[in-house]
Amino acid sequence: MAIPKSSRGVVSEWLFTADHKKIGLMYIVYSLLFLVIMGIEAILMRIQLAHPHASFMSPQAFNRLFTLHGTTGVFFVAMPILFGFGNYLVPLMIGARDMAFPRLNAFSFWMTAFGGFVLYASFFAGGSFLQGGSAPDVGWFAYAPLTSTTYSPGHSTDYWTLSILLAGVGSVGGAVNFIATILCMRCPGMTLGRMPLLAWMNLVMGGLVLVTISPLTAAQIMLMVDRYMSGHFFDTAAGGSVVMWMHFFWIFGHPEVYVLIIPCFAFVSEIVPVFSRKAMFGYPAMVAASVGIGFVSLGVWAHHMYTVGMPSYGNAFFVLTTMIVGVPTGIKIFNWLATMWGGKIRFATPMLFCTGFLFQFLIAGLTGIMLATAPFDWQLSNSYFVVAHFHYVIVGGILFTIFAAFYYWFPKMTGRMLNETLGKWHFWIMVIGFHLTFDFMHIPGLLGMPRRVYTYEPGRGWETWNLLSSIGVVFQAAAVLIFVYNMIQSYFKGAPAGNDPWDAWTLEWATTSPPPDYNFAAIPEVRSRRPLWDIKHPEDPDWKYE
């Protein structure tokens, strides 16, 4: 292929870059692409589920869609987008010139990226494309023994395992980098107690990734031993236990959801103070709560397994630990509220999305508490109530804060503001779509509708709710389209942002937008948690109070 010289330069500049900002942007763009793909998968599923006994698609196709939708969502949308923001922001916010290991950083990104390509290569690996090719169809937690060669012949499950394994290596590499960067690259004066909360929470996230992705990797290796070498880890005929897979998966799977939400807490903790014009309320408590959530979340995994027949004391133990997580999470919610309290809140788009997050995450957390109650969960587990719960957290929590982060940091990344009017449209249509889809999903769950069914029986009181859910997706898709349009339009034509459009207080706003390759002309020195506040208010600097 003949690529013109100049564009060859641009391509290789990005392909071989080790600059944390470029890698961060690549992570972000890559995840947005997958967001649209997994969103289209969701749209297709919702079309099939709009009516009972629909025949829009075959059961095989549906099963592939939810497997890919879930796997993509967790591993190739949420994880990489958060890693992307972390990559971009952490060095800037701690006043460093790059991540600790730039080349490892590039390696991690490409591993993750490659994982996603492997997953979707399955579509083209034989079988009819419209039926999903030979895409995996075992669900995103891939319970044994459905994944064994007996019940999943062919290679569909192999694509799944391999892609997760690759993405896992990428994530661990990224986490090592985050930890080393945050601990070893801070600018002078930035003690641990003065780090922006975003850095703290990325540190906790990094630590969680180390201890949770690794068990997943181990479990994937075992599954591969079973599949490729006829091993017996999950072979019940040889005395193996399939419950063991469940434990290993959820030892990863539960902390994983906190891996996802903690960086989102970080966004909220940066955005809410700036738009309320107040310092973060209870910084030490926020740090302690994040670390606390990290630790406690390691001991709650079996709340996904209340129905597998654990002894009653086992169930009770996990009820207790799971509910305890609510306490530090509550501390955070209250601290954010207290930060808003007495402020002068500017409802620019980032703050709107954060407010939406606060509201929705509250509900999501409370439905989480219902699920944590083992007996209630015996009814709700694997029903649409669970689907509603986790989309409330993942879409209403994670996706909303990611949108907030986009509106907040896009000016820094590109030098141009996102359009506020379009932003408001984006927000409100998203809110409507989100609530239409996911509020009504709770109800069929309470009325006995299990998840992962490609169709359902009429006459069980589920029809209306499913139809409403499906209608909601149209709004969500419209909102995402507005957002994508806004980004493209603003990238070229947006109002110039200047260094510090939000009148904010952390170090990334002290350099140009977009920042130069070396981030800072001179490495900054700080004396407080809000270095820019100190400069803007020399009469009343923060360090007097810390």
Partner 1 sequence: MSAIPAAMAANEAPWKLPSRGRVGMLSLIIAESAIFTIFVAAYILYIGKSISGPTPRQILSVPIFITVCLLSSSLTMHWAVAALRKGKTGSFALFWFATLALGAIFLIGTGREWHHLISQEDFTIQTNLFGTTYYSLVGLHASHVLVGLIALAIVMILALLGKVKCEHWERCEVLSLYWHFVDAVWVVVFTVVYGLGR
Partner 2 sequence: MQIVGLKLWQKCGLWLFILLFCTVTITLAAPLRHAISPTNIFAPDSTPAHSIYRLSIFLLEVTGAIFVIVFSLLAYAVIKFRKRKHDDDSEPPQVYGSNQMELAWTVLPVLIVVVLFVSTAQVIHRVQDAKAPDRAVSVTAVAHQFWWEYRYSQFGLVTANELHVPVSDSKNPTPTYLALLSADVDHTFWVPRLAGKTDLIPNHPNTMWIDPQETGLFLGQCGQYCGTQHAKMLLRVYVQSREDFDRWVREQQQPANSDPSVAAGQALFVTKACFACHTIRGTIAAGKVGPDLTHLMSRDTIASGALPNTPENLRQWVHNPNAIKPGSLMPVPDLSDQELGQVTAYLLTLH
Binding site for ligand HEA (CB under 6 A): 36, 39-40, 42-43, 45-46, 66-67, 69-70, 73-74, 77-78, 139-141, 257, 260-261, 303-304, 322, 325-326, 329-330, 333, 362, 365-366, 368-369, 371-372, 377, 381-382, 386-387, 389-391, 393-395, 398-399, 437, 451-452, 473, 476-477, 480-481
Beta carbon of residue 491, minimum distance to ligand HEA (angstroms, whole number): 17
Q: How many residues does the chain have?
A: 546
Q: How far apart are CA 410 and CA 487, in angstroms?
A: 9
Smaller CB separation from partner 1, 270 or 534: 534
* Residue of 20, 46, 227, 254 that binds Cu ion (CB under 5 A): 254
* Residue of 40, 221, 288, 495 that binds partner 1 (CB under 8 A): 221
Residue 134 per-residue DSSP state: T
Beta carbon of residue 87, minimum distance to partner 1 (angstroms, whole number): 16
Q: Which stretch binds partner 1 (CB under 8 A): 43-51, 66-74, 212-220, 452-460?
A: 212-220
Q: Distance from first CA to last CA of the chain, Å, rounded? A: 60
Triad 196, 200, 201: Cα angle to 5°: 115
Q: How far apart are CA 435 and CA 429, in angstroms?
A: 10
Smaller CB separation from ligand HEA, 124 or 485: 485
Q: State which H helix or E strand residue 162 sits in.
A: helix 156-184
Beta carbon of residue 444, minimum distance to ligand HEA (angstroms, whole number): 10
Q: How far apart are CA 535 and CA 546, in angstroms?
A: 16
Q: Does 383 help bind partner 1 (rule: CB under 8 A)?
A: no
Beta carbon of residue 344, minimum distance to ligand HEA (angstroms, whole number): 25
Q: How far apart are CA 262 and CA 198, in angstroms?
A: 9
Q: Does 18 help bind partner 1 (rule: CB under 8 A)?
A: no
Q: Which stretch binds partner 1 (CB under 8 A): 231-239, 274-282, 338-346, 422-430?
A: 231-239
DSSP 291-324: HHHHHHHTT-GGGG-GGG---HHHHHHHHHHHHH
In the numeric block, the tokens 């009181």 are attached to: 461
* Residue of 43, 244, 468, 484 that binds partner 1 (CB under 8 A): 244
Q: Does 311 help bind partner 1 (rule: CB under 8 A)?
A: no
For partner 1, what does the binding mask look like between residues 480 and 519, x meaning CB under 8 A?
A: -------------------xx------x--xxx-------
Q: How far apart are CA 448 and CA 443, in angstroms?
A: 9
Q: Which does 298 bind (CB under 5 to 8 A by kind): ligand HEA, partner 2, partner 1, none?
A: none
Beta carbon of residue 472, minimum distance to partner 1 (angstroms, whole number): 39
Q: Does 239 help bind partner 1 (rule: CB under 8 A)?
A: yes
Q: Does 522 help bind partner 1 (rule: CB under 8 A)?
A: yes
Could you tell me which of 93, 76, 73 has the C-alpha nearest to residue 28?
76
**Are the beta carbons of 500 and 509 closer than 8 angstroms?**
yes
Distances (CA, A) of 262 to 244, 278, 297, 309, 465: 27, 22, 12, 31, 31
Beta carbon of residue 308, minimum distance to ligand HEA (angstroms, whole number): 10
DSSP 526-537: -SSS-HHHHHH-
